[in-house]
């Protein structure tokens, strides 16, 4: 069985309400996880791109944060999150999510 067979990846929804992109991973075994996080926002104010990368060591069965990025995206903006993850030096997996958007002024 491959080491990354039990990899789970998600964005913290509680943080998203505060317009923060907070990706997490959980693995079945303690492993090193290389990651690259990219957030792209496009709207009337132009285009903004933020990147983070790093290496974390997971604890089996526990959620491990991969960092956080603040996003100021309005309802009319296009905003995407791309997370590239490589577990224990194996093949890279790519995950895509929508950014949180501001609920200010919406009913």
Domain borders along the chain are 3-98
Q: What pLDDT sits at residue 4?
A: 46
Residue 100 has pLDDT above 80, yes or no: no
In the predicted structure, residue 18 carries a pLDDT above the cut 90: no
3-98 under CATH 3.40.50.620, yes or no: no
Confidence check: pLDDT of 16 > 60: no
DSSP 11-60: E-HHHHTTTEE-EEEE-SS--EEEEEEEEEEEETTEEEEEEEEEEEE--T
Kindly report, residue by residue over 36-95, the tens digit of the pLDDT: 999 999 988 899 999 999 999 999 999 999 988 888 777 788 889 999 999 988 889 999
pTM for this model (two decimals): 0.81
> What confidence category does residue 21 fall into, taking pLDDT thresholds of 50, 70 and 90?
confident
Interatomic CA distance for residues 77 and 95, integer angstroms: 20
Residue 101 has a pLDDT of: 60
């Amino acid at each position: 069985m491959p080491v990354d067979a039990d990899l789970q990846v998600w964005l913290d929804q509680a943080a998203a309400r505060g317009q923060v992109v907070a990706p997490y991973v959980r693995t079945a075994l303690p492993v090193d996880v290389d990651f690259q996080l990219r957030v792209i926002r496009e709207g009337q104010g132009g285009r903004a791109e933020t990147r983070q990368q790093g290496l974390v060591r997971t604890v089996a069965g526990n959620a491990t944060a991969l960092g956080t990025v603040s996003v100021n995206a309005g309802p009319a903006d296009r905003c995407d999150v791309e997370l590239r993850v490589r577990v224990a030096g194996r093949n890279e997996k790519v995950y895509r999510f929508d950014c949180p958007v501001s609920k200010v002024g919406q009913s």
